[in-house]
Structure 1
Amino acid sequence: MVLHYPNGKPFKKELLQPNTNLKAKNVIYGNRGMSLEEEINISNRYYLQRGKAVIHKKPTPIQIVNVDYPKRSAAVIKEAYFKQASTTDYNGVYRGYYLDFEAKETRNKNSFPLNNFHEHQIIHMQACQRQQGICFAIVKFSMDNELFLLPAQFLFHCWSQKDNGKKSIPKSAIVKHGYQIKYGLHPRIPYLDLVDKLIDNNF
């Protein structure tokens, strides 16, 4: 299926391949083959079922323009367009606070590319922050299976340096200014523990 952005450009999403070079001691078998989005969705269901938070993935409206019917009982979408530019991946309510955040992953080992984010996503998070919402990004270094929560202000600072030629955020800066998220069982990604820290620090 071919998807297009509102400007007509084709949508391309890198498919993550399993890393067969990791030593056994570094592999978390419970997470193998699972995307960051799937891990967050599982975590959000856990939070919802226990009444801790109400956070959902935002649906992306798609306009279908070409459908194939190989069988009378089945239809295959061959071409579609995103109706509008998406904002961020997730939003919801926790402890009376509005949360709005993006989830991104990279196969890079030493830096996170800024072009993984889009300008309209940054603008959206800045608008939410002005309304006292809590915004952040959860990023995953998939080769090392490491997760970090990036506070919005740190992300905004890095984004502002794009005009000076900055193309990525060094992992060392993410370690210094972000919060590492350790995988758990229930929930799989306990990111609300770190949102508590954002709240304690006035975001």
Structure 2
Amino acid sequence: MNIKYPNGQSYHVNVDKAQPKKQVKAKKATYSNRGMTLENDLNVSNEQYLAKGIAVIHKKPIPIQVVNVNYPRRSAAKITEAYYQKASTTDYNGVYKGYYLDFEAKETKNKTSFPLKNFHEHQIVHMKACSDQKAICFILMRFSTLNRVFVLSFDQLHHYWERQKETNGKKSISLKEVEQDGIELQYGFSPRLPYLDAVDQLINQTFLNKSSL
């Protein structure tokens, strides 16, 4: 499917985030690697949080304008061309313990660093605006080859984003930096990915620590 931005330019998916279109070999179900993308893990976790009355968090729909549709048969329709009506912001938002959450989920196959090209300027601007309004903003980042998932606060992401603009600035966040500044998550059963435990830490860092000053 050909999807384009409002200015007419074609949308190109980041190589790191792209998933294979066809699965030739069946995946084996294991405890350490459940064969799920980060997005699927989050969607399942959010359903579990909602069912337990813990939080209301959803994936944002992508605003697109459909241009062409093919009908290979009467009972089926296939979108062949579409445009983004406007630039998308972040992947997820919702409410938890009275706090507004706004966050992005990204994956990379890199083993030693997380490329900043996975983020877009308008996403950084959006999270900065939400953060200025006291929202809890962060990113969930998964090193898919290592099967490791981290929560990184927006303040930390913004630091690395601005660092790349310096002369000879790094265009990525090293795994060592992520381990130092982020909160690593461990897969569970229900929820599958207990990221709200890390959010509790961010809330404490953002509000409780400041109130004690």
TM-score if structure 2 supplies the norm length?
0.87
Q: Could you tell me how far apart the structure 1 residues matched to 2:124 and 2:164 are?
A: 12
| Matching of residue 6 in structure 1 with residue 10 in structure 2 | no
| Match of residue 102 from structure 1 | 104
Gaps of 5+ in 1: none
Helix, strand or coil for the counterpart of 1:201?
helix
Helix, strand or coil for the counterpart of 2:170?
coil
Gaps of 5+ in 2: 208-213
| Match of residue 184 from structure 1 | 188
Q: Could you tell me how far apart the structure 1 residues matched to 2:122 and 2:41 are?
A: 25
| Matching of residue 144 in structure 1 with residue 134 in structure 2 | no
Q: Which runs of 4+ in 1 moved over 4 A?
A: none
Q: Letter of the 1:8 partner, please give it.
A: G
| Match of residue 114 from structure 2 | 112
Equivalences for 1:1-203 in 2 at 5 Å? 1-13=1-13, 14=15, 15-16=18-19, 28-29=32-33, 31-32=34-35, 34-164=36-166, 165-202=169-206
How many residues were matched structurally? 196
Identical columns (%): 54
> 62-71 or 138-147: which moved more?
62-71
Q: Could you tell me how far apart the structure 2 residues matched to 1:185 and 1:99 are?
A: 23
Q: Letter of the 1:5 partner, please give it.
A: Y
TM-superposed deviation, 1:85: 0.3
Q: Letter of the 1:47 partner, please give it.
A: Y
TM-superposed deviation, 1:11: 2.1
Deviations 1:17-64 (A, max 9, x none): 69x9xxx9x9724x21x1111110000000000000000000011111
TM-superposed deviation, 1:68: 1.0
Q: Could you tell me how far apart the structure 2 residues matched to 1:125 and 1:163 are?
A: 18
Helix, strand or coil for the counterpart of 1:187?
coil
Q: Could you tell me how far apart the structure 2 residues matched to 1:189 and 1:83 are?
A: 32
Helix, strand or coil for the counterpart of 2:165?
helix
Q: Letter of the 1:12 partner, please give it.
A: H
* 8 Å Cα contact 1:67-1:77 kept in structure 2: yes
TM-superposed deviation, 1:2: 1.1
TM-superposed deviation, 1:75: 1.4
Q: Letter of the 2:201 partner, please give it.
A: K
* 8 Å Cα contact 1:58-1:88 kept in structure 2: yes
Helix, strand or coil for the counterpart of 2:206?
coil
Deviations 1:72-109 (A, max 9, x none): 22211111111110110000000000000000000011
TM-superposed deviation, 1:8: 2.1
Helix, strand or coil for the counterpart of 1:163?
coil
* 8 Å Cα contact 1:16-1:107 kept in structure 2: no
